[in-house]
A and B are shown apart, each in its own frame.
Chain A
Amino acid sequence: MSATRKLACAILLVVVISALGATWIAPADYATQFREAPNAPPSRHHLLGTDEIGRDRFSRMLYGTRISLLLAPTAALLSTLMAALIGAVAGYLGGFWERLAMGITDLFLSLPWLFLLITVRALLPLNVSPLASVLVTFLMLGLLGWAASARVLCAAARSLRHSGLLLQARALGLHGARLFAIHVAPNLKPILLAQFWISIPVFILSEANLGILGLGVSEPLPSWGSLLKELEGLTSLGDQPWKLVPLLLLIVVVTSFQAVLSYEEIAA
């Protein structure tokens, strides 16, 4: 493991532990309002100051990191499973099923990701409870984000279908689901893992985009998107620079995710 990957893993570990331990580390609850100190600058009591309704920004960042970091992998898992179900099975079956699956994939990929995401989210109910908004956002990311991975998996399963390995297995009498489970699925595991890992930063950034547009996680629950929405109030970058801390954290986390996944794994 290279030094960069070790460093990236260490950073991710620290961030994940801090986010999971937000209940104990955070000085206040994410929704607690310090009404005597709205828009306060950083101080001993509020490390990153408070927002316009007096909520501790550092606490909100920790809780927001927890939401984004727990749910992005969940959405990535959902999208990878869907990709495996649609892409890998279609590639393995070939013929009509492959053409049908790739037609649906083409339909999904014919629209730019952000356009699809924003329009679909805007069409879904916006006036929902915070918990429902979290579920809607990440379910939608998972359900819409499978197409690119499905195409990769379909190509891999197709090449396996024509391989000598499967020919021999068929000659030995293995067929259908058993052949898929024993020989195809294990060979697709590295690709599935790479697709899952690639999807996480994509979904983190997508949630941030939705949050800034007001289509992500609803208040008072924090997420990186809603924390970054505060940048709207800035008049210059020098004005309240502590508001940029969530952005820096986002950059560090996404960079770490990308550094962990080496190019060899992406190629695999």
Chain B
Amino acid sequence: MLWRISRRLLAIAAIVILGGLTSATLVRFAPGFATDEQQLDPRLSAESLQALHQSHESERNVFLFYAAYLNRAWHGDLGISHSLNMPVSSLLRDRFPVTLRLVGLGLALGWLIALGLALTSALARVTAYSFFAIGFSGALLCLPAAVLALLSVVLNTPGYLAIALLVFPKVFTYSRGLLEKAYCSSHIVSARAKGLGPLRILCWHVFPVVAPSLTAIAGVSVSMAIGSAIPIEALSGIAGVGDLAWQAALARDLPLLVNITILVTVATLLTNYGAEIAGHAVRGQES
């Protein structure tokens, strides 16, 4: 067991390092790399221009840059953002809680609405209600994250609502299918016939059956929410990591983008791995 966990964590570490290197390579070879708006300032002297030019010199060889970056990061120094002229660690420290709150609240609300509607739809078995729930989630499934962000700005609603509405249809569609299947299974039909209360049936018979599959979608929904944070933060003017990634990509800010890519990769992989472990744990309890 310990060997499997360590192997998996090693694989995650390898993917994270490779992800960072890929991101660094992309930025390095992006058109406009190493050009600085400040270089256009006519007041700058030749020495200043030379200094500006040399500030990117260490980034020209992407492998050397990445090796040096990893070495510095190991000692807690994440580098300096060229575009914002601030330490990356302080930028991430300021912005991370904003994104965490946005994504966390969005996920919680999305899951609450999805599970609430899926459960009532599976329990009530009223065609009109199910039709409404399916139609609502189906319409939301067709909305791009950026449209939800724009609508949240137009309607003056909080940004996390956009994330909730993005997560909701995927979770609803999946959980509704699982719950309906579970409620139709023979042991639950017989539990109902024996007169067990709905809450007891849910907690003792339905939840253990659907929980392992729900943990799988939990990992996917976190990844989806993190990804949608860029358009939502960029369009709603929320100063989080998503907005920072957007600015870093446009400004070809190598140190900033590499750090954000690594952060996002770590968050996605650990969440998915966590969901997998939780799924295994639930299955283990069940058996």
Contact = CB atoms under 8 A, between A and B. Distances in A.
A80 interface: no
Contacts of B224: 112
B139 interface: yes
Interface stretch (A37-45, A116-124, A171-179): A116-124
A122 B250 contact: yes
Given A110-B269, A111-B19, A123-B27, A235 B154 contact: yes
B265 A231 contact: no
A114 B269 contact: no
Contacts of A212: 144, 146-147, 150, 231, 235
A115 B245 contact: yes
A123 B154 contact: no
B26 interface: yes
Contact of B245 (A106, A119, A250, A258): A119
A106 B15 contact: yes
Contacts of A7: none
Query: How many interface residues does chain A have, given as a range?
Result: 35 or more
Given A212-B144, A228-B146, A118 B138 contact: no
Nearest to B153: A232
A231 B144 contact: no
Contacts, number: 120
A46 B231 CA distance: 32
A208 interface: yes
A125 interface: yes
Nearest to B146: A212
B249 A209 contact: no
Interface residues of B, number: 46
Interface in A118-175: 118-120, 122-125
Nearest to B265: A110
B261 A118 contact: no
A155 to B, nearest CB: 15
Contacts of B100: none
A181 B226 CA distance: 40
A112 B26 contact: no
Contacts of B264: 111-112, 115
A255 B142 contact: yes
A213 interface: yes
A114 B142 contact: no
A255 B140 CA distance: 10
B144 A205 contact: yes
B67 interface: no
B139 A255 contact: yes
A251 interface: yes
A258 B27 CA distance: 36
Given A111-B227, A209-B146, A251-B142, 17 more contacts: A106-B11, A110-B269, A111-B261, A112-B227, A112-B264, A114-B227, A118-B249, A122-B250, A123-B27, A125-B31, A205-B142, A208-B147, A212-B235, A231-B151, A234-B154, A247-B147, A254-B142
Interface of A: 103, 106-107, 110-116, 118-120, 122-125, 201, 205-206, 208-209, 212-213, 228, 231-232, 234-237, 247, 250-251, 254-255, 258
13 contacts: A107-B15, A110-B268, A113-B227, A119-B230, A122-B250, A124-B31, A234-B150, A247-B147, A251-B142, A251-B143, A255-B139, A255-B142, A258-B138
